[in-house]
Chain A
């Protein structure tokens, strides 16, 4: 499956495997948005996020693909991702999964679960090898 507009959601917990999986799903003309949601977007945060996730942009670059880092300000991460995907007519969202165990796992729906249920497009969840579901 090759997508035309891809949204890759990243957090500090996103492993390289997620980005590599996204790279494999791209064709040369795929437009890639790398999205990170922050609580407050100041100059400092913009610089910090750009530095922190430069490795993601580099991975796409190495594969000969163009990607752009998008920083969105919201405290509602799940809906910020959905809104971004809708606004930019993305046809696929690629995101990692974060295992939530125990009582917290029982009482909290993960972002990936929410995206699967509510996204307007295909959602691809990438699990790091060996990571619990």
Chain B
């Protein structure tokens, strides 16, 4: 290690800072500002690495095409395809409709509403990004609680925590799952076989702990709003078509590539294209009261697809490649390899990932750890190798519940709540996160360790 090896570290830290801070920077000699968000920050990082000769064009190529099992391009195709399908489905009002049905299902019981919100958020997060859960359910919860004149905080926490627990169950539940599972060579069904039990254990323990924490704040009875859920549906046939496409895309995606001979990342774009064509021919904006378009159009759907995840993930792969070249991933790999016991290693990586997420966000933390596991100095048994990737996924998902810094979705949620006059401070969130998540993580990773001991 020399002074030059610190350059990639400095660039990595700067990139993480920019991702969190996303500052508006004035463009010199103009009156315009550029918003450096999570899409631009890694690009700046890569440019800095190239300018300081800390990385070369080869690393940029590896950032796109990947190293070993990791293929960033295939990861991105899967993420963007499923995102398009889910965003388009969301714009039909489908998730909002289901949310309102959940509210009605509670039949005026505070306890039921608390549990149903938790279970419903868990269900949606199985196959969508957390953003959709948060954007859909937060307004419904606030509306229901304001109408019933009750404190929305327990229900909001129930929704947010659930969104980051069950997201570990399926390969497509979170982009970090795809990154780590792809690197470990796990496809849909083998991934689910490993993660089903730990996620159910985590779900039960988290619900129990949340209930203990909030039980005094949840009213026994509440007057649920009398709203016909169908009024939240904007496009009934679109919702039917979209949900069918989503189910089919997951079903086809789950078929083993050994049976089809087709790589898993090839099929989701076809379903996304089918959804796109449906949107292209069906969605027509109409003029609202002020002559303003008040209907979701194809343009809005396309704008909401997280395109910036492309430069974000590729840029991070390149920056982490710089860290790997400077020996930082080797250093961590050799330290982790000293933990010989597979159970201890699973626990250590879960907690390491849980904590790292809250210092560097879950995507960078996952990519850094994935590259660490690829190091030749990461000398563990094959079972421990798969276990390490799965433990990383547990920590990277659960880490978003530890503090609001664990994921960008957490920061987005805090901003939405603040704008809606229901602020949740960093310390208030962390109080519950730090109390609940270490226990949830312990139960889940012990479940995973038991599976590894029995089946690997």
Contacts and interface: CB of A to CB of B under 8 A. Distances in A.
Interface of A: 11-13, 33, 38-48, 68-77, 84, 87-88, 98, 100-104, 106-109, 111, 113-114, 117-118
A43 B90 CA distance: 15
Interface in B18-60: 20-24, 32-33, 35
Contacts of A98: 418-419
B270 interface: no
A12 B425 contact: no
Contact of A72 (B143, B292, B418, B425): B292
Interface in B127-184: 135-136, 139, 142-143
A15 to B, nearest CB: 9
15 contacts: A13-B418, A40-B91, A40-B96, A41-B234, A41-B295, A42-B96, A42-B233, A44-B232, A70-B289, A74-B300, A87-B292, A102-B427, A104-B425, A109-B24, A114-B24
Interface in B399-431: 404-405, 411, 414-415, 418-422, 425-427
Interface in B57-105: 90-91, 93, 96, 100
Contacts of B260: none
A125 to B, nearest CB: 15
Given A102-B426, A117-B33, A38 B139 contact: yes
Contacts, number: 108
B405 A39 contact: no
A76 B303 CA distance: 9
B232 A73 contact: no
A40 B419 contact: no
Interface string B383-397: 000000000000000
Contacts of B411: 104, 107-108
A44 B292 contact: no
B304 interface: yes
A12 B289 contact: no
B294 A40 contact: no
Given A70-B290, A73-B295, A98-B418, 15 more contacts: A13-B419, A13-B421, A40-B90, A40-B296, A42-B233, A44-B232, A47-B231, A48-B143, A84-B292, A88-B292, A104-B404, A107-B405, A108-B415, A113-B24, A117-B33
* A-B pairs with lowest CB-CB distance, top 6: A13-B421, A44-B231, A103-B426, A12-B420, A12-B421, A44-B232
Given A104-B411, A117-B24, A42 B419 contact: no
Nearest to B21: A107
A33 B24 contact: no
